[in-house]
Structure 1
């Protein structure tokens, strides 16, 4: 029920979309929920004496289940117009309401996924790592809807499976070796929607997660079979992801390693004088020295120093909030690559070469 309720909106103008489908067949029951763009199917093993399919109000049923903590099993039975349910000592007779034939199982992207020749396996831990490091950069700006997800594609030149997100202020890129079967991904790639990303992240990050996930892709959709009993099928975002190579340069001249924790602390201290943490912070590099400074027209200025090994002089401004959030993704030190004060800075994780970030500067 948890997976279905994560997908089903609490407020629906279409009554059937508030329902979860319980489809009992030999060996157990499939629990299906949808918002039309995202379908989740969870198979729960159990003993079934006769097949049935029924629709029940999803969030009301889950709220009832949540209140019965000591029940080891749930029993369902069909009795005329009711779904008779026993949960521990609690007995329910639930109105069936809508007919199961009204549930919208048919969708063009699901049909395309069913005939796709592109399927590959990724460790669930790898998917969790990718989403941990990339999803923070997904845009929430609805006008540029094509940025409202993670772009998955194969880089033919490097032979890497790439996952990219950007909100126009920063970009995040994670590369893994191309698994067998991923070469059949559509040439244009797939943009996985933000809601799908969040639900997939929850599924592959929780305790007791499955070891592997089967990914299937088609031009209009993508699905993730986590283990053997949890399926997430999603409509892809219909749009063209921008050429992210323009905001992640590969030839910045100046490179310097900086411990990320001291740099975050320096930015936090200097930006404390500003009323909003999203305001500009200045990083001034000189040989062996980095000065982090911020100013407030109403309050004054603040600066602090971080000892580094560098041999160049340059000052560049960044959004303090964005930069701290990006640095907080790093597990090792930050390798900062800068070309000039007006171009994007590239930040790499000293602990994981698969990760590359880019941060757009602000005018000083």
Structure 2
């Protein structure tokens, strides 16, 4: 890269750590000149940026399964990009790649950390959604931990999102009954009419608990946890003996700044775990990549090709709009996999 061809990247960095719900003031838009490539590196222009709930945890300095983003650093995130220049033998200009490049328009990355994508095999955006981390999270968590059996009842929270929608569809393909919990009539209709769920419950309904109980007359055998809060509280009494609970996320609590009000519910929770012999297992999808990722790509891509698996994407245009879109994601305003279209595909 010569001085005449210096590439400038527009990026979003963490300006401050949020206290409670993030605001746009916690982010800062800036432009930087990228360094010249060294051997083994690749310059990519970002086309799609994935926005996911886990990013809220990266904004906090609290203990977690991954290191937090430091103040002034680029916000982390999965991306699909196109190679502009390469000093890695495995990539050349024009290649499409999957990278963990974060919230920016261009990035210099180590070529060994990239995965080449075939734009003819599937839409590029699906590498960040149904054929990417969210899809694999659903596939691995449900099949490895939930282990649904034919005729059992699977309940999934945040069911219209990229993980929850995949969980319900995989449960159906495995012969189970799928009950989805979502926010609002439109999302519930989507679960029933487009994804083929057996029942859909609006968690905003005043009689949510009664509706949920009526939808699972034989109890719940698998509960795929994405939310926590009032949804989890309604589900807990309905879990059957030996029920399995894969814990993927707790989005209802990500913005908590203080301990919840009310009585200590931990003794009641542990008592039910004991009495019902429940299996509750938190997981990070990366732990299953080695044993399940190949099967995941084969199965889900095949189901999509056969018309047995649907997905929905929610796009916002422009890297500068990523903070507002992310805040909306945490508030449940997205409908489907949340993606930022940073640039057009060539």
Q: What TM-score range do you get, normalising by the shorter chain?
A: under 0.3
Higher helix share: 2
Higher strand share: 1
Structure with larger RCO (C-alpha < 8 A, sep 6+): 2
Relative to the length of structure 1, the TM-score reads 0.25
